[in-house]
Structure 1
Amino acid sequence: MSCARCLKFLMLFFNGIIFLAGAGILAVGIWVKVDSGSILGFLGKIPNAPSELSQVLNVGYLLIALGALLVIIGFLGCCGAMRESKCMLLLFFVIVMLIFLAEVAGAIVLLVFRPLVDSLFVKFGIIAVQNIRTDYGKNDDVTGLWDTTMSTLKCCGFNNYTDFINSTYHRNNGYPSMCCQDGGAPCGNNTNSTAVPSVPGCFTRIKALIEDNSKVIIGVALGIAVLELGAMITSMSLFCSLKSA
């Protein structure tokens, strides 16, 4: 009986934290989407704030989805432990297991099917370059997303500055300012420039960022996997103790 109480306490404690964190993230996401006017007004008052800062509103959808998922998981874990509901505990176990299996499947795809992943990145690069040449400077969302990415990572285009050549934006405005850092990439409407750019493409930057922080990423992934395994073991242990009681 004391073992069951200990398991119940662990379920309530950890899932209570998950539920509160999810509720907070969900509230922020809803606030970002509902009260976008006030947020834009606040961002507009920040001195020398970049225009790309307004793209923070697009993060609202991600926050809502993540918050809702955490709320559901936390609710099932807490309520299942408190009410000693085998149905809720089982549903909690199934959801966490599905997330865990999805993560394992993703890791296997990255390791075993590395050539396939590389080919997918190549195809994604073609789509990204096409997106730049057709929508950059015309679509505010696309422009803001690329500007934020390039200014944050200090990069230019998907591959390099040549991604902008023959684009609508390039014909009218030349190259984006992010492509002209350190004077490496050509500035102005000069499609025949042979200058060697010092500003790398965003794909190169992201690749280097992942490689430089690979140990941290692996450590975080393993930590999350251990927590998920612990959650599944605890929920099933409590489920079995209730079943035998």
Structure 2
Amino acid sequence: MCFQTFMKILTGILSIVFLILGIALMIVGFILQFGKDVLVKYLEAYTNELNEYLKAAGAQFNVSDYIGYLPSITGNVPVVFIVMGAVMAVVGIIGLVAICKENKCALTIYIIILAVLIVGQLTLVIVYYAARDTFSARAREYMQQTIDTKYTGYNNTNMETVLWNVFHMSLSCCGINNGSDFLSSTTWPRYVNYSGKYYDSVAYPLTCCKLTNWTACLNTNHTDAAYSNWNIGCYNLIDRINIVYAALGTAAVLLLQVLILDFSVHLCRKAGEKDI
């Protein structure tokens, strides 16, 4: 009896955690879609340093001016977050009701839903890793398109430019594979007016310079690795970060669901014994 109560409490706690995760995912989705003020405050923490350096080049931008471009970058991601969060929240609520009632029928429905979710997530993970090269190639192609047709240097006239400059400075990298990705850019002006000095035929973007000494970087035209990150690509760094967080997040959610499923099956069996 004590073990049965313990299992019920533990399964209930895990279901509450699942519910909270669903609500959190929904909140992130709504913020991305509708929370302009929240996004501005969050992004300013990453762009203030960029702004300070750009002032010396006579450029400056306001994060709030670019939030309107965010939907074109994130696409349907906010909607996906909202839908996934809603599904997780509903499943969590169903689980809590089923566990509290200790009803075999309700627990069976809960178990089936959890099993479907687990199989679905495992399928998505398998498909992703099986076609990872395809996804990677498409991502690189899209990123190259933003460099070729959207990137405008340090003037920051669009969201793509802001994101590339933030990537360069926060990750200490340059371009997708390296700075040569900018050689095909048709929108990036290859000159810089920095600290009162004019630099013509600049090899790579100003933000590819290391933060320690932009002047030395420009004076050597990115040829000295001590002052430039031109030979360090951003894609692998971004991909590595995404894989770590995605892998940890997916593993945590799957483990949580498997534990809930296992405990729910046990409770369902006990509920069935009561009905006999």
Per-residue deviation, residues 47-70 of structure 1 (Å, max 9, x unmatched): 946569668877892764554343
Q: Which residue of 2 aligns with 1:205?
A: 237
- Alignment correspondent of 2:118: 100
Distance 2:96 2:265 in 1: 14
Structure 2: which amino acid aligns with 1:238? L
Aligned partner of 2:19 in structure 1 is: 19
Aligned counterpart, 1:30: 30
Match of 2:141 in 1: 126
**The 10-residue stretch of structure 1 (138-147 or 40-49) with the greater mean CA deviation from structure 2:** 40-49
Give TM-score scaled by structure 1 length: 0.67
Q: 1:95 to 1:139 in 2, by over 3 A?
A: farther
Q: Which amino acid aligns with 1:132?
A: I
Partner residue of 1:160?
A: 178
Aligned partners of 1:121, 1:46: CA distance in 2, in Å? 26
Q: 1:146 aligned to 137, 158, 164, which one?
A: 164
1:230 aligned partner: 259
- Note closer, same or farther for the CA distance 1:98–1:34 as it changes in structure 2 (3 Å cut): same
Q: Which residue does 1:135 correspond to in 2?
A: 150
Name stretches of at least 5 consecutive residues in structure 1 with no aligned partner: none
Amino acid at match of 2:265: M
Shift of 1:40: 3.2
8 Å CA contact 1:43–1:49 kept in 2: the answer is no
Aligned Cα RMSD in Å? 4.5
Count how many residue pairs are aligned between Structure 1 and Structure 2.
236
- Give the residue type in structure 1 aligned to 2:165: D
Deviation at 1:243, TM superposition (A): 3.1
Contact 1:132 / 1:164 at 8 angstroms: preserved in 2?
A: yes
| Partner of residue 56, structure 2 | none
How many angstroms does 1:133 deviate by?
0.9
Is the partner of 1:165 in helix, strand or coil? helix
CA contact (8 A) 2:140 2:176 kept: yes
Q: Which amino acid in 2 is paired with 1:74? A: G
1:178 aligns with 2:207: yes
Aligned to 2:55: none
Identity %: 22
Give, in angstroms, the shift of residue 170 of structure 1: 1.8
Inter-partner Cα distance in structure 2 for 1:27 and 1:168: 38
2:94 to 51, 56, 76: 76
Shift of residue 44 of structure 1? 6.2
* Partner Cα separation in structure 1 for residue 97 and residue 162 of structure 2: 42
CA 1:122–1:19 in 2, change beyond 3 Å: closer, same or farther?
closer
- 1 CA distance for matches of 2:38 and 2:252? 38
| Corresponding letter in the other structure for 2:122 | V
Instruction: Flag the 1:183–1:130 CA change in 2: closer, same or farther, 3 A.
Output: farther
Task: Measure, in 2, the Cα distance between the counterparts of 1:132 and 1:148.
Answer: 14
Matched-pair contact (CA < 8 Å) for 1:53–1:148 = no
Mapped partners of 2:182, 2:127: distance in 1: 32
Q: Which moved more, 1:117-126 or 1:46-55?
A: 46-55
Larger Rg: 2
Q: Deviations over 1:17-43 (max 9, x none)?
A: 332343355346535654524663787
Q: Give the Cα–Cα distance (whole angstroms) in 2 for the partners of residues 198 and 107 of structure 1.
A: 33
What is the CA–CA distance in structure 2 between the aligned matches of 1:134 and 1:36, rounded to whole Å?
A: 26
Please give the alpha-carbon distance, in whole angstroms, between the structure 1 residues aligned to 2:139 and 2:43: 32
Query: Where does residue 54 of structure 2 map in the other structure?
Result: none
Amino acid of the residue matched to residue 83 of structure 1? Answer: K
Unaligned runs of 5+ in 2: 51-60, 192-201
